[in-house]
Amino acid sequence: MATAESIKETNLNFPGQINFYRGKVRDVYYLDNKLVIIASDRISAFDHILGRPIPYKGQVLNKVATYFLEATKDIVPNWLEAVPHPNVAIGKKADPIKIEMVIRGYLAGHAWREYKAGKRILCGQAMPDGMKEGDQFPSPIITPATKAEEGHDEDISSEAILKQSIVSAEQWAILEKYTKALFQRGTEMAKAQGLILVDTKYEFGFYNDEIILIDEIHTPDSSRYFYLDGYQERQEKGERQKQLSKEFVREWLMENDFQGLDGQSMPAMPDDFLKTVTDRYIELYEKITGQKFDKKPNDNLIDEIEKAVLDHLNN
């Protein structure tokens, strides 16, 4: 069976390029007034990049992010201007706000690990007593995190954000409003596809003194989904929820004694698990968008990406 080349990293140079940044997953090329973002096939968990790239993952992320950016631009202006290749997004270069706006509708992931450890306050938000993993919060809670240049992002309360003057009170109110409205739209779109949007994060920036949405939204890297069908029964029986997210990657790492802690070594990913990760990402794309994912074999992926970007910039 033909397979696509995986992109571990890119090292390109575009006209007007003034800077380059390699994130955990994306390679970002800064031009005079634009960003060219290439979604690689790298995968990260516990703030560490795993050893092997995941075929098609970059395309899945880029296509899901594009789908939701298009579907939410009536709520908040966003950075995206063009998608000249399935792995590429080009758009406005904003000044990032150094906060991840994490919003949680259900007790899962990091919030559950904190809750299980006995905490009932997360980023200044109360979590009621007597909850089980996977239970819905009375209403969604916003639990921001500071954006770390390296290492782990850290939880922060809105009070601390204002005290540190990361944003003004007026700007915080806008971020809060956008975050809740985006989560509501994402929740409705997920429900229409038989999914529950459990939690997610949004990133914003300033562009011409306006707050705009940047980065990806509602992708499996930034969000967690449960299957709606059978959710209530699983909760009542105390069973684990069926998820569409990369939590299963974190669980595999934990089973192999890795949580990103000092002295721990990243386990090698076997071929069968690599295929599982690819299949799960494609499943999420098809499930969340209702569209078929087109696997296109390609032996010259990076060359194609470079040509697509240059063609777009020259037009």
- Strand partners of residue 35: 30, 91
Percentage of the residues of the chain whose pLDDT score is greater than 90? 83
Question: What is the rounded average pLDDT for all residues in the chain?
Answer: 93
pLDDT digits over 151-169, tens only?
A: 567 999 999 999 999 999 9
Lowest-pLDDT choice from 143-152, 248-257, 304-313: 143-152
- Strand partners of residue 92: 34
Total domains in the chain come to 1
C-alpha angle 253-255-260 in degrees, rounded to nearest 5: 40
- pLDDT confidence tier of residue 138, bands split at 50, 70 and 90: very high
For residue 13, is it within any domain?
A: no
Residue 1 scores a pLDDT above 60? no
Written as six digits, the tokens of 47 are: 């703030």
Q: Regarding beta strands 195-207 and 95-96, do their DSSP bridges make them parallel or antiparallel, or are they unpaired?
A: antiparallel
Written as six digits, the tokens of 66 are: 């594009």
Tell me what the mean pLDDT of segment 214-236 comes to.
Answer: 93
- Rounded CA-CA distance 173/196 in Å is 26
What's the chain's length in residues?
315
Tell me what the mean pLDDT of segment 179-195 comes to.
Answer: 97
pLDDT score for 149: 63
pLDDT score for 2: 39
- Rounded CA-CA distance 123/75 in Å is 25
Residue 234 scores a pLDDT above 60? yes
For residue 296, is it within any domain?
A: no
Tell me what the mean pLDDT of segment 88-97 comes to.
Answer: 96
For residue 259, is it within any domain?
A: no
For residue 152, is it within any domain?
A: yes
- pLDDT confidence tier of residue 246, bands split at 50, 70 and 90: confident
For residue 1, is it within any domain?
A: no
pLDDT score for 117: 97
Q: Using CA of residue 187, residue 292, residue 134, residue 234, what is the dihedral sign? A: positive
Domain of 180 in residue numbering reads as 96-244
- Rounded CA-CA distance 211/75 in Å is 12
Tell me what the mean pLDDT of segment 100-128 comes to.
Answer: 97
Q: What is the CB neighbour count within 10 angstroms for residue 59?
A: 25
Q: Using CA of residue 50, residue 52, residue 57, residue 58, what is the dihedral sign? A: positive
For residue 205, is it within any domain?
A: yes
- pLDDT confidence tier of residue 280, bands split at 50, 70 and 90: confident
- Rounded CA-CA distance 200/48 in Å is 19
Residue 183 scores a pLDDT above 60? yes
pLDDT score for 151: 58
pLDDT score for 50: 92
User: Count of alpha carbons within 13 Å of 294, Cβ hemisphere only?
Assistant: 4
Tell me the CATH number at 196: 3.30.470.20
pLDDT score for 64: 92
- pLDDT confidence tier of residue 261, bands split at 50, 70 and 90: very high
pLDDT score for 152: 65
For residue 238, is it within any domain?
A: yes
Tell me what the mean pLDDT of segment 300-306 comes to.
Answer: 93
For residue 290, is it within any domain?
A: no
